[in-house]
Amino acid sequence: MTALRAVAGATPDQLVLGLDTFGDVTVDDAGERATHAQVLRDVVEQAVLADRLGVDAITLGEHHRDDFALTSPEIVLAAIAGCTERILLGTGVTVLSSDDPVRVYERFATLDAVSSGRAEAVLGRGSFIESFPLFGYDLDDYEALFTEKLDLFARLREEDPVTWSGRHRAPLVDQHVYPKTEQPDGVRAWIGVGGSPESVVRSVRTGIPMMLAIIGGDPSRFTPFADLYRRAQAELGRAPMPLGVHSPGHVAATDAEAREQLWPHFEANRNRIGAERGWPRTTRAEFEREADTGSLYVGSPETVAQRIAATVRTLGADRFDLKYANGTMPHRQLMESVELYAAAVMPRVRELLAAA
């Protein structure tokens, strides 16, 4: 089989529409908390449903804390690979800063082999810092770790012998890394970018496409970053690179139902993380603003499709991934959201873009 690949300037038929989850620990309809093991099994079931219904991609985010179950997403992706046929299998993100680039490359090259070319790594620094002390890294090196390790990962994608040295791992001298992939450009990869000019240009310099993580505010505020991304490609002589977007949301039969289902889980999740980071408690008014005009794609299939199509047009995106798992929302509701996204949102987005 041939894996889907986004290309810059994608037509509506070429647009990649994916789903994303961090393996948020859920509750059942009675409010009982699921075990981490059950959440992982549920993630596999959600991905299998997405594949069967034609979703283009599934990405699993790496975290190392009690409220998320996905600490080793590549292992879960390998389990999904054995149960699926066509869906792209990625991470969103792999925290490269606190990992070893050689081991990361080996894991994804292995996943690519067993999935017949469907693996992709979304690399990032991570918005949570638990992995740094867990694996023995100093947060004072936060920026240097990512810059250095990304440089090595980009070199490994050439799949030639690598000679390299840096501050944060042992040097390599004429070193092969295995297994070799069957891909012309090595392991497929993206760089997760939160929205700094330096990160945008870094993506272009390394030749690894940018995945914008837009988690709040009007998506159009990221237009300058999309423009910089394309301008840097021209100035640095890069062939056109695809642009991806990742944002949270939830789909239900009606707008009112979707908002009522999501709100309590959104509130609990945001307030828990906000307490750790010194944010004020969220409000229903903030939630409604994000749902109306921000980067929370919540509502009926028509509403969500209209909002996604608008973002794709505004930014010229080649890919959109909806983070469909938000806090403790029950597995049953997540499955319903996946089904509506595949059956109703995706075809409607393509229809709207074709009409435009």
At 349, which CATH number?
Answer: 3.20.20.30
List the domain range (segments joined by +) for residue 22.
Answer: 16-355
Whether residue 7 lies inside any domain: the answer is no
Domain count, the chain: 1
pLDDT of amino acid 28: 87
Kindly report the pTM of this predicted structure: 0.95
Cis omega (within 30 of 0) for bond into 114: no
Phi, psi dihedrals of residue 191, rounded to the nearest 5°: -115, 120
Whether residue 73 lies inside any domain: the answer is yes
Whether residue 4 lies inside any domain: the answer is no
Residue 26 burial by Cβ neighbours in a 10 Å radius (0-12, 13-18, 19+) = buried
Whether residue 71 lies inside any domain: the answer is yes
pLDDT of amino acid 12: 85
Amino acid symbol at 21? T
Whether residue 254 lies inside any domain: the answer is yes
The ranges of the chain with pLDDT < 70 are 1-10
Distance CA 150, CA 155 (A): 9
SS3 content of the chain, % helix, strand, coil (to 5): 45, 15, 35
Q: Which residues pair with 342 in a beta bridge?
A: none
Whether residue 3 lies inside any domain: the answer is no
pLDDT of amino acid 13: 87
pLDDT of amino acid 343: 98
Tell me the pairing of strands 94-95 and 88-91: unpaired
Whether residue 1 lies inside any domain: the answer is no
Residue 144 burial by Cβ neighbours in a 10 Å radius (0-12, 13-18, 19+) = middle
Tens-place pLDDT, residues 212-252: 999 999 999 999 999 999 999 999 999 999 999 999 999 99
CB 44 within 8 A of CB 80: yes
- 65: number of Cβ within 10 Å: 16
Distance CA 316, CA 318 (A): 7
Residue 246 burial by Cβ neighbours in a 10 Å radius (0-12, 13-18, 19+) = buried
Whether residue 308 lies inside any domain: the answer is yes
